[in-house]
Structure 1
Amino acid sequence: MFLQRVRNRGIQLGTLFERAAARHPANVLILDHDLDIAPEFGRRATVAEAADLVDDIAARLWAVRIRPGDRVVVHKTDGFDITLIALAAARIGAVPVLLSPALDGHTVAELVRRTDRPYLVTDAAKLAALPRSVFDRAERVLLTSGSHQGALELAALAGAPRVPSVTMPADHPTLITHTSGTTGVPKLAVHTGRTLQARYRPQATALAGIVHGRETVAIHVSFVHSRLMTALAISLLRGFPVAVLADSDPGAAADLFARLRPGVLEAHPNSFMAWEELADDPREPLAGVKLFSSTFDAIHPRTVRRLLAASRRRAPLFGQLYGQSEVGPVVVRGYTRRRSAHADGRCVGMPFPGMTDIRVVSRDGKPPSSDNPGHIEIRSDGRIVTYLGEQERYDAQVSADGWWRMGDVGYRSRWGCIHLLDREVDLIDGFGSTLAAEDALFSKLEQLTEVVIVPGSAGEPVPVVCTRDGAPLDLDAWRTATAGLPPMADPVQRHLDDLPQTATTKIKRLELARWLAAENGSA
């Protein structure tokens, strides 16, 4: 591939905290929650203490006879110990398989089956919600907290003899995560040390050019997403204090940020949307932010504008990375106060020079354009090596010359910027870009906290809206805001927590459309 000229020895997840502690032993890790597997760890510790905890967990896993190459599924109540258990498994050469706490029990059981008799690390509360069949599909069930008949409590193995770390080959699987599952049962994405290192490089390069000195990095990213691994590596190895959030509640986040004054803030787009109200907090919890970083999807210009305005840094930047679980970040775009007010939210950025490449392929033989979007395809050495147990599905997305089809449609501007218009499966005939329409509605209606346009039972565009504090939608303002947009059905108002979401808080549009159809059918 075009990036093979760059030397890549592969990232070693299992020794991440150990290496960070060797460089910056007094650096700190801050949490907004207690760890199930080690409640005594507290909410503030040195990186050296975190490294010792990873070593301790690794020793307990080794005592259960987990060995290099074994798979360890982690499906437990949300918390940073998901990440620590994954690092501990990698430390002894095992392959962690991270499953979101939000997955339903039958999906978890199916993914455990697909993983081929793994060790399952969970807790009593989660295990009680799983089908009994997981005991038959797992080599052994291990609990981080609580008790359950037939499962082994990891607490009973405290003090197990420590074991040396195991270095696996760079091309060996080192982590398995799952895709968003917006179109059905999630796929299991297999990462190697080499593919994760390839993802680390562009992100580390971008950060080094923006953030100087010792800044506190606050991260609210799904604990089962590969992005958290690279975000931690970039921050810890540079000696940045790291705050990891499990709770995205704006009030809780404001309290923490007002105390810590983070200089870098990384979160999902939907979390940033929820945190818009922090801009009005008199304590100015976002005043110290130099860089806002959003990795998963294009973000609405209104959110960018409000957050940048809340910073008191001289030249804050909002960095948007467009990518996918399977390939990592592919293109990047930066917003400043001067560029954010009327920015086109559909322009997601440019490839990383020498690291990623991108093209747009026609769907109908005509040149891709804003009116006729094409398939977005990319090349990156950060691409996963397979879908576990589904090689044919993986191969179907890779062209003969190595281009990966993202499942998104868009076009490339005359300046080379990639414009993302829609997911291919979400296209509504004759409507244009649903994402662009949603951007326009957000910019005009401050009341909105979410708007998703999905096809109705007859194919008509149906806007589903959520408002701040659940207040009734201002229909007069709605009619004014939609006057210049393609025709839509009347808005359907719902509470945000009621909408189906992925582990990274994306709305599952297809599932939402099915819900609406079912509601209409029963009405």
Structure 2
Amino acid sequence: MRHTLFSERGFYLGMMFHRAAARFGSVPVSLDRPLDVCPGAGLGLGYPELAALVDDLSARLWAAGVRPTERVAIHKSDNFDIAVLTCAASRIGAVPALLSPGLDGPVAGELLGRLDRPWLITDRAKLDGPLCSAGPAGGDVSALVREVLTVDDGPGPTPGVPLEKFAGAPAHAPVRLHPREPSLITHSSGTTGTPKLAVHCANTMWNRLVPQKAMGWPTRGETAALHMSFVHSRFYHLLGVLLNFGSPLVMIVDPDPAAAGPLLAAHRPGIVETHPNTFVLWEELAEAPGDPLSWVRSYGSTFDAIHPRTVQRLLGASHRRAPWLIQLYGQSETGPVAFQWYTRRGAARTDGRRVGTAIPGFTRIRIADSTGRRAKAGTAGRIEARTRGRILTYLGARDTYDRQLRDGWWQMGDMGYQSRWGGLYLMDREIDRIDSMESNLEVEDVLMSRLEELREIVIVPGAEREPVPVVCVRGDEPLDTRRWDEATTDLPRMATPLQWRFDDLPRTSTWKIKRVEIVRMLAEGALPAARFGV
């Protein structure tokens, strides 16, 4: 039976900025590019200005005809206004459905079809680009949606109604849905195929938010710099934590160190969170001009496991007395189910495969054997989690959702084991296992630590299920084969490495590598045109 204390609480996105402005006043929010929906606002805003913009946009959406419980797909070029539009739709009780800017046209069209004629907020770059042939029979998306609303008003072949048309619309009072009603739709990473649409409600989101607030308490009020996917549920929980503590914000869209480094040096954030692969890219900021990471007290990493080498370099770049990195393990469907803290002293000797322990009072973790029973400590099996933060369902795919549940335990799709004391160790995704390797991910960690020039390494099964390493070198320099041979002497036998540019690796919106897609590319010979032979 669900406890009333927990079942009637809710995390509502529509009023986040209003509550923060009322509590803390004008706290700065700095951007690296103007908002597409309001370019005249510039790069320096504050809590009150963003609250007013949410009011304005929600009034425009209401004037356009959007009503409570209706789905509003947001699929536009990457920018922080994705979050502002999400809050605006939520404020009037609509259900934002967030589609990654990185989706290609056919996949975006398929997801819009599953949303059953939603409203669509987009821009000309998407509407006259990938979406122009994403509809039925290669037509535009008009047939898939109720109405197309654009954040810009430039001319184009695909019809759309500019939101500017509704400027000056009267404000509408906030609408609060029941805590167990759908309130947000995001999608899974799509690393193993077409993404699934995950349906969240205010109550499950609240159950994710509370433990994250507790984790954020030690750094309350510190300036926070974020480069994250604005269509991922994790971003909104982190934003809720930071607004709750009145933190100044720095929103980074462009992760290139040449652009992000000066911005970080100018604002001196005490909190930095981004995707693990971006942190690898930002290793070079450890010694960059202006010491951009020197004031960081807390790094946050989620979405994927992070390499130990990267943790050590990030913590070593901080001049704070005792910085740390917190890693969250989970997925869109569950929110974080395990957490781990790294310190300077512990990072060098921590097993990179250890992703933490369950969150007391909110999550439980177990390892299941092939029969579905709990495995003994130290025995590898399927990772399963029980959490109050689990999504309601997959939209249009209830059978798929039900297949991942077993007596209330959610199958994470990963293989791993637990120690006697409950520490969770991640080995591989079930679908990525290679029989000749105990853990692909562990070997990747070892090689990243031994070869500092590596930007990324991904080990995938080849045609004969042999381990095939795909490597990316910083600066796209040729891989030193002598160093590679020395680094792999004591490791399981692998095929000759393939060197690709990092930009040629298929990735999700959170920069996760699509390993299944790489396997397909290798099988079909559809390799990048600009690759390196070693």
Task: Please provide the CA RMSD for this pair.
Answer: 1.8
Q: Helix, strand or coil: the match of 2:406?
A: coil
- Decide which of 439, 446, 470 is 2:445's aligned counterpart: 439
The one-letter amino acid of 2:219's match is V
CA deviation digits over 1:363-408, x for unaligned, max 9? 26898589962010001111100000111100111112x1100000
Please give the alpha-carbon distance, in whole angstroms, between the structure 2 residues aligned to 1:520 and 1:47.
48
Please give the alpha-carbon distance, in whole angstroms, between the structure 2 residues aligned to 1:371 and 1:463.
27
Please give the alpha-carbon distance, in whole angstroms, between the structure 2 residues aligned to 1:140 and 1:326.
29
Please give the alpha-carbon distance, in whole angstroms, between the structure 2 residues aligned to 1:257 and 1:7.
40
Matches within 5 A, 1:22-421: 22-128=22-128, 129-130=130-131, 131=133, 132-145=139-152, 146-148=154-156, 149-208=158-217, 210-212=218-220, 214-363=221-370, 368=375, 373-400=380-407, 402-421=408-427
Please give the alpha-carbon distance, in whole angstroms, between the structure 1 residues aligned to 2:118 and 2:372.
46
Q: Helix, strand or coil: the match of 2:405?
A: coil
Q: Helix, strand or coil: the match of 1:343?
A: coil
**Contact persistence 1:25–1:47 (CA under 8 A):** yes
**Structure 2 CA distance for partners of 1:431 and 1:98, relative to 1, 3 Å:** same
The one-letter amino acid of 1:288's match is W
The TM-score normalised by the length of structure 1 is 0.96
Please give the alpha-carbon distance, in whole angstroms, between the structure 1 residues aligned to 2:16 and 2:527.
52
The one-letter amino acid of 2:515's match is R
Please give the alpha-carbon distance, in whole angstroms, between the structure 2 residues aligned to 1:7 and 1:66.
28
Q: Helix, strand or coil: the match of 2:337?
A: strand
**Structure 2 CA distance for partners of 1:271 and 1:521, relative to 1, 3 Å:** closer
**Contact persistence 1:333–1:349 (CA under 8 A):** yes
**Contact persistence 1:90–1:96 (CA under 8 A):** yes
**Contact persistence 1:323–1:331 (CA under 8 A):** yes
Deviation of 1:238 after TM superposition, in Å, equals: 1.0
Deviation of 1:8 after TM superposition, in Å, equals: 4.9
Please give the alpha-carbon distance, in whole angstroms, between the structure 2 residues aligned to 1:202 and 1:371.
27
CA deviation digits over 1:274-324, x for unaligned, max 9? 000011113211010000010211110000000000000000001001010
**Structure 2 CA distance for partners of 1:443 and 1:360, relative to 1, 3 Å:** same
The aligned residue for residue 136 of structure 2 is none
**Contact persistence 2:504–2:528 (CA under 8 A):** no
Please give the alpha-carbon distance, in whole angstroms, between the structure 2 residues aligned to 1:55 and 1:156.
16
Please give the alpha-carbon distance, in whole angstroms, between the structure 2 residues aligned to 1:291 and 1:330.
20
Q: Helix, strand or coil: the match of 1:60?
A: helix
Please give the alpha-carbon distance, in whole angstroms, between the structure 2 residues aligned to 1:463 and 1:482.
11
**Contact persistence 2:366–2:384 (CA under 8 A):** yes
Please give the alpha-carbon distance, in whole angstroms, between the structure 1 residues aligned to 2:528 and 2:199.
41
Please give the alpha-carbon distance, in whole angstroms, between the structure 1 residues aligned to 2:454 and 2:375.
32
**Contact persistence 1:3–1:381 (CA under 8 A):** no
**Contact persistence 1:371–1:432 (CA under 8 A):** no
**Contact persistence 1:172–1:193 (CA under 8 A):** yes
The aligned residue for residue 15 of structure 1 is 15
Please give the alpha-carbon distance, in whole angstroms, between the structure 2 residues aligned to 1:7 and 1:116.
28
The one-letter amino acid of 1:180's match is S
Deviation of 1:415 after TM superposition, in Å, equals: 2.5
The one-letter amino acid of 1:306's match is R
Gaps of 5+ in 2: 134-138, 530-534
The one-letter amino acid of 2:172's match is V
CA deviation digits over 1:214-244, x for unaligned, max 9? 3101111101000111111110121110111
Q: Helix, strand or coil: the match of 2:50?
A: helix
Gaps of 5+ in 1: none
Deviation of 1:159 after TM superposition, in Å, equals: 1.3
**Contact persistence 1:361–1:377 (CA under 8 A):** yes
The one-letter amino acid of 1:357's match is R
Please give the alpha-carbon distance, in whole angstroms, between the structure 2 residues aligned to 1:151 and 1:250.
36
Please give the alpha-carbon distance, in whole angstroms, between the structure 2 residues aligned to 1:29 and 1:330.
30
How many residues were matched structurally?
A: 520
Q: Helix, strand or coil: the match of 1:360?
A: strand
2:515 is the counterpart of 1:509: yes
- Decide which of 479, 482, 492 is 2:488's aligned counterpart: 482
CA deviation digits over 1:412-446, x for unaligned, max 9? 01221000000000001121100000000000000
Please give the alpha-carbon distance, in whole angstroms, between the structure 1 residues aligned to 2:273 and 2:18.
23
Please give the alpha-carbon distance, in whole angstroms, between the structure 1 residues aligned to 2:526 and 2:377.
33
Q: Helix, strand or coil: the match of 1:332?
A: strand
The TM-score normalised by the length of structure 2 is 0.95
**Contact persistence 1:147–1:153 (CA under 8 A):** no
Please give the alpha-carbon distance, in whole angstroms, between the structure 2 residues aligned to 1:2 and 1:429.
42
Q: Hey, which bits of structure 1, 4+ residues long, moved more than 3 A?
A: 1-8, 364-372, 520-523
Please give the alpha-carbon distance, in whole angstroms, between the structure 2 residues aligned to 1:468 and 1:440.
17
Deviation of 1:150 after TM superposition, in Å, equals: 2.2
**Structure 2 CA distance for partners of 1:93 and 1:339, relative to 1, 3 Å:** same
Q: Helix, strand or coil: the match of 1:35?
A: coil
Please give the alpha-carbon distance, in whole angstroms, between the structure 1 residues aligned to 2:355 and 2:328.
7
The one-letter amino acid of 1:83's match is A
The one-letter amino acid of 2:465's match is G
Please give the alpha-carbon distance, in whole angstroms, between the structure 2 residues aligned to 1:365 and 1:59.
51
Q: Helix, strand or coil: the match of 1:406?
A: strand
